[in-house]
Amino acid sequence: MDDILGHEKIRVHLDSLARHDALSHAYCFVGPEQIGKKSVALDLAGTLLAIPVASLAIHPDMHFVKRGLNKKTGKTKKHIDIDQIREMIHSISRHPMYKGGYKIAIIDNAHLLSAAASNALLKTLEEPRGKTCIFLVTHDQSALLATIRSRVTDIFFSPVPAIQIQKMLVDRGFDPEQSTEMARVSLGKPGRALEWAGDMSIYDAYKENVHTFVSLFDKSFHEKRAAISEMFGDKTDHIAARQLIDARLQLWQLLARDIYLTQIGSSASAHYLDSPPRVSAGQLLHIQAEIEQARRYITKNVHPQLLIDHILLAIGT
């Protein structure tokens, strides 16, 4: 548990339940991406199976499910499919390696379950066998079937305080000033800060994306299009490409908010913008609405360029 940042109350609560053999058969860990939900689930699985987390992948009583690649095309699947859930059900239905031991399954990004996969999972949730513990990890609980949500115990994860993330980065050898900046813009997500710490080029790209969005307000429509053309670079894996575009749109939402907060002199802004564009509150709300609509449709069959164009028009010149 010492390797996990934050979520102390949740971890202590789950550890107490485990020690008293009082865990529920199914949990839904809900919270923003990269906040530590999966890490807590893996840590608890290691505790229940009495092995290091690093050894979970080869343990016969542990099954991990995530969206993968299509074996024929090599492209990202749109959903977690029914075959993956059937394989999981078969795995956790077998007798545990040790009598009276746990069978554990973790479904990462459970909101990506297909309808068929969800229905297959539902039967297992309705009729749990033995000491089975299933963890659904998601940042979008509303995408789960209502019948699934009614059969799991919800645990909600909150952002980790920036001071804890800053200390973690300093302990890893980063400059205190840079650690403070990275902790602030990580938005309470230790996983994001660790990703940046592991590869500073990712952090540099993040800062460049911030600069690009702010600069759009001073460009013509065609210049805006040119400035963000790399967003549509991957033409081979459409699912993965749309996922990256959605991540960029999330950043744009945050920056539109930060532009407003900076203009009114609020210290709540995640990004310190030296020269924020002068934009009315009404226009920022319009931009936010267009971004929100784009994020709703990006996972559907609407062309991403069309969605982005609406945002660029809302930004204006």
Answer whether residue 1 is part of any domain.
no
CATH classification of the domain holding 145: 3.40.50.300
Task: For 137-164, write each residue's pLDDT tens digit.
Answer: 999 999 999 999 999 999 999 999 999 9
**CB-based burial label for 18 (10 Å; 0-12, 13-18, 19+):** middle
CATH classification of the domain holding 251: 1.20.272
Measured distance CA(313)–CA(287) in Å, rounded: 9
Final residue in a domain of this structure, among 198, 224, 256:
198
| Residues 309 and 169 both lie in one domain | no
Model pLDDT, residue 162 = 94
Answer whether residue 2 is part of any domain.
no
C-beta separation of 307 from 294 below 8 A: yes
pLDDT < 50 stretches in the chain: 1
Answer whether residue 302 is part of any domain.
yes
What residue numbers bound the domain in which 188 lies?
Answer: 160-198
pTM (two decimals): 0.89
| Residues 151 and 207 both lie in one domain | no
**CB-based burial label for 37 (10 Å; 0-12, 13-18, 19+):** buried
Model pLDDT, residue 232 = 81
| Residues 94 and 170 both lie in one domain | no
| Residues 45 and 151 both lie in one domain | yes
Answer whether residue 181 is part of any domain.
yes
Task: For 26-51, write each residue's pLDDT tens digit.
Answer: 999 999 999 999 999 999 999 999 99
| Residues 40 and 129 both lie in one domain | yes
Side-chain-side CA neighbours of 104 within 13 Å: the count stands at 26
| Residues 21 and 149 both lie in one domain | yes
